[in-house]
């Protein structure tokens, strides 16, 4: 994995891997539709996957040309590449985790790392194919070059670390709210048998 991505995602994956199945499923404030820990990770995985798929399409078409960035996109992109993102902004519908199979921390961490590795590989291919030209367009930030894609996903990951920790800390302090408990599973029962459909929650 490229160092820019690794420095942000690998430490977070180590944090995720410490979380139990039940702890990952509790929202710190269901009334305000805040995400549980797993939803935060699912959102990051979706973001990495969507970027990878878009870049793979660019590679297949051998086209780097994108529309020009708007003034607003320049402004918000500048903020991101200074290392910050605004909190409380609703996620794009395509990046909002609605239905998912409940998983524990080690499984979530492995999926996050695997998706980041795949994106890193595709970005390396884009560097060879497109050089310093933009190689795809983000729906909010506009056209991005390879190094900008890496920086965006690193900043995006760091942006959600505290949100994940808050959700897990809340769950650990209130075990009575953990609706899916490992101790409630009978021998041989698979916790991934059914999908979990939480209410739509904001970032």
Which pLDDT tens digit goes with each residue over 112-153? Answer: 999 999 999 999 999 999 888 888 888 877 888 899 999 999
Per CATH, the number for 3-85+104-176 is 1.20.120
**What single DSSP character describes residue 141?**
T
Nearest to 100 by CA among 167, 46, 172, 32: 46
| Sequence ranges of the domains in the chain | 3-85+104-176
Output the pTM of the full model: 0.78
Nearest to 138 by CA among 195, 199, 94, 197: 94
Print burial letters for 56-79: b (CB count within 10 Å at least 16), e (below 16): bebbeeeebebeebeeebeebbee
pLDDT winner (highest mean) among 72-76, 132-136, 157-161, 190-194: 157-161
Degrees, nearest 5: CA angle 162-183-12:
20
Which pLDDT tens digit goes with each residue over 5-25? Answer: 999 999 999 999 999 999 999
């Amino acid at each position: 994995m490229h160092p820019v991505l690794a420095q942000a995602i690998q430490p977070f994956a180590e944090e995720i891997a410490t979380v139990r199945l039940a702890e990952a499923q509790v929202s710190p404030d269901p009334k305000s539709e805040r995400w549980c820990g797993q939803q935060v990770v699912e959102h990051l995985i979706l973001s990495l996957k969507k970027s990878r798929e878009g870049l793979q399409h660019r590679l297949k078409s051998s086209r780097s040309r994108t529309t020009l960035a708007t003034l607003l996109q320049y402004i918000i992109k500048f903020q991101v590449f200074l290392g910050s993102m605004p909190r409380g902004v609703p996620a794009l519908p395509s990046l909002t985790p609605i239905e998912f199979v409940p998983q524990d921390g080690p499984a979530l961490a492995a999926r996050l790392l695997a998706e980041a590795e795949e994106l890193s590989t595709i970005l390396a291919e884009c560097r060879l194919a497109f050089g310093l030209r933009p190689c795809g367009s983000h729906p909010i930030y506009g056209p991005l070059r390879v190094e900008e894609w890496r920086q965006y996903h690193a900043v995006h990951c760091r942006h959600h670390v505290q949100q994940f920790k808050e959700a897990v800390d809340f769950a650990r302090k209130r075990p009575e709210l953990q609706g899916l408990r490992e101790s409630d599973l009978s021998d041989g029962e698979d916790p991934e048998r059914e999908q979990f459909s939480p209410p739509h929650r904001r970032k």
